[in-house]
Amino acid sequence: MHFYVTLTTRCNLKCRYCYGKSLEDMESEFGNFEIDYSQPSTINYDLEVLTSFLAKCPELPTVIFYGGEPLLEIEKMIEIMDKINAGKFMIQTNGVLLDRLPPAYANRLHTILVSIDGDPTLTNFNRGKGIYQKVIENLRLLLKRGFKGEIIARMTVTEETEIEKQVLWLLFNDDFRFKSVHWQLDALFGKRDFEKRPFAQWTEKIYNPQVQSLVKFWVEYMETHSEVLRIYPFLGIIHSLLHNESSLLRCGAGWKMFNIQTDGTITPCPVMAGMKDFYLGHINHTSPSQIRKVLVKEPCVRCDLCNLCGGRCLYANITKLWGKEGFRLVCKTVKNLIERLKEAEPRIRELIRAGIISLKDFEYPRYNSCEIIP
């Protein structure tokens, strides 16, 4: 099983899409859901309780450190890594404090997902002056100190993003080349932003066509370089097409992956922390195999794409903060992504048959905090 361990609700940055939205939505009602705003800012449970909870997992758990910014709680993270017998440790971080993590612990991480939105101009516009440079400096240091795991650039994509240009920047710029890239649309998270944003025009005129062009580039690169670039949304869907497999919610939230919030309560994912209707137990008295599962409902269960999309996001499926129209617009991006990859599938199969690339090139670790469907 996979568990996010939320180390803190605090953050050291004030990114536009996250901090800005939280201010806007502070006063707005949150549908019919009761939200508990009283979670402690840092872990208030005994780590022995966490240890014995995770020890009851049927197989060694994967632990993903999460926040807020988890590296604000380095001491706690180290304590957990010392105490817990996990199959893998991962972290999702803004990267600013990575230089403070002792190499003995950094090098034990299987995966580091670092928030970066593309080139310096875009990243610093969203995340703050000098953040891009600081993050890259820290990643270089990490590699110099012997980190051998996977570093995934995790982009938040907004109407400011030219997706093709920014993904290619992350993969090929001379400063620091990321080997893995994932992105998530800044969509359906806040209640008040939809009407103010040009989301519909942007998806139609910029995002969807550029995803198409990026898929084309991805396949051409396989042909010319015998290499499958690790662009996670593409990897996940093509893997399913090649293996003729269907998927439940691809991030795993609510059925394969859960979050332990700072007071020890279990929720489907960190974004659903505080949503009392979705409290699934507590590490004090619930064992991992007893956690109630939560699956996506309408409209996903009746959608033709559900076997490949998986429902995109449990939080969005439940809250529908942008109403029907907003939800439908996001689904159109999913449809575009899947259709473009289906069109590419025959050529990819040919390349595999010709031995230019192999099926193995499309393998990726599941539930590693890449949601696959942006």
Contacting residues toward ligand SF4, per CB under 6 A: 251, 253, 269, 271, 299-300, 303, 305-306, 309, 311-315, 331, 334, 371
Nearer to ligand SF4, 49 or 303 (CB): 303
Least distance between ligand SF4 and beta carbon 58 (Å) = 22
Side-chain-side CA neighbours of 161 within 13 Å: the count stands at 28
Nearer to ligand SF4, 180 or 267 (CB): 267
Nearer to ligand SF4, 30 or 172 (CB): 30
Least distance between ligand SF4 and beta carbon 167 (Å) = 19
Least distance between ligand SF4 and beta carbon 75 (Å) = 26
Q: Residues of 149-180 as b/e, b for ≥16 C-beta within 10 angstroms?
A: bbbbbbbbbbebbbbbebbbbbbeeeebebeb
Nearer to ligand SF4, 69 or 361 (CB): 69
HEC letters along the chain: CEEEEECECCCCCCCHHHHHHHHHHCCCCCCCCCECCCCCCECCCCHHHHHHHHHCCCCCCEEEEECCCHHHHHHHHHHHHHHCCCCEEEEEECCCCHHHCCHHHHCCEEEEEEECCCCHHHHHHHHCCCHHHHHHHHHHHHHHCCCCCEEEEEEEECCCCCHHHHHHHHHHCCCCCCCEEEEEECCCCCCCCHHHCCHHHHHHHHHHHHHHHHHHHHHHHHHHHCCCCEEHHHHHHHHHHHHCCCCCCCCCECCCEEEECCCCEEECCHHHCCEHHHCCCECCCCCHHHCCCCCCCCCHHHCCCHHHHCCCCHHHHHHCCCHHHHHHHHHHHHHHHHHHHHHHHHHHHHHHHCCCCCHHHHCCCCCCCCCCCC
Least distance between ligand SF4 and beta carbon 3 (Å) = 12
Nearer to ligand SF4, 309 or 348 (CB): 309
Q: Please report how the helices 47-55 and 74-83 are oriented relative to each other, as an axis angle in degrees rounded to 10.
A: 40
Least distance between ligand SF4 and beta carbon 337 (Å) = 10
Least distance between ligand SF4 and beta carbon 31 (Å) = 16
Nearer to ligand SF4, 118 or 310 (CB): 310
Least distance between ligand SF4 and beta carbon 270 (Å) = 7
Interatomic CA distance for residues 184 and 295, integer angstroms: 20
Nearer to ligand SF4, 196 or 302 (CB): 302
Nearer to ligand SF4, 136 or 306 (CB): 306
Least distance between ligand SF4 and beta carbon 111 (Å) = 15
Nearer to ligand SF4, 49 or 305 (CB): 305
Nearer to ligand SF4, 239 or 312 (CB): 312
Least distance between ligand SF4 and beta carbon 211 (Å) = 14
- Residue 114 near residue 93, CB atoms below 8 Å: yes
Least distance between ligand SF4 and beta carbon 336 (Å) = 10
- Pseudo-torsion of CA 170, 172, 177, 178, nearest 10°? 50
